[in-house]
Amino acid sequence: MEPRLNIFGSPSSAKLIKHFVAAGKVVEDSGVPLATQELVKIRASQINGCAGCLDMHTKEAVAAGETAVRLALVAAWREAKVFTEAERAALALAEHGTRLADGYGVPDDVWQNAAKHYDDDQLLALTSLIALINAFNRLNVMLQVPAGDYVAGQAAAMHG
Range of the domain at 81: 34-149
Separation CA 57–CA 133 (nearest Å): 10
| Within-domain flag for 122 | yes
Asked if the structure places residue 40 within a domain, the reply is: yes
Alpha-carbon distance of 160 to 157, in angstroms, equals 5
Q: Domain for residue 8, yes or no?
A: no
**Is 107 among the domain residues?**
yes
In a domain, 61, yes or no: yes
Q: What is the DSSP letter of 3?
A: -
Cβ atoms of residues 87 and 51 within 8 Å: no
Residue 69 forms part of a structural domain: yes
Question: In total, how many domains does the chain have?
Answer: 1
What DSSP state is assigned to residue 140? H
Domain annotation covers residue 7: no
Question: Taking the mean position of all CA atoms in its chain, how far away is CA 139?
Answer: 13
**Would the CA dihedral through 46, 47, 51, 57 be positive or negative?**
negative
Q: Rounded to whole angstroms, how far apart are CA atoms 111 and 90?
A: 9
pTM score, whole prediction = 0.90
Q: Is residue 16 part of a domain?
A: no
CATH number of the domain where residue 83 is located = 1.20.1290.10
3-class SS at 138?
helix
Q: Tens place of pLDDT for every residue, the chain, 160 residues?
A: 777 677 667 788 778 888 888 888 888 888 999 999 999 999 999 999 999 999 999 999 999 999 999 999 999 999 999 999 999 999 999 999 999 988 778 999 999 999 999 999 999 999 999 999 999 999 999 988 888 787 887 777 665 5
**Do 89 and 118 contact (CB within 8 A), yes or no?**
yes
Q: What is the DSSP letter of 84?
A: -
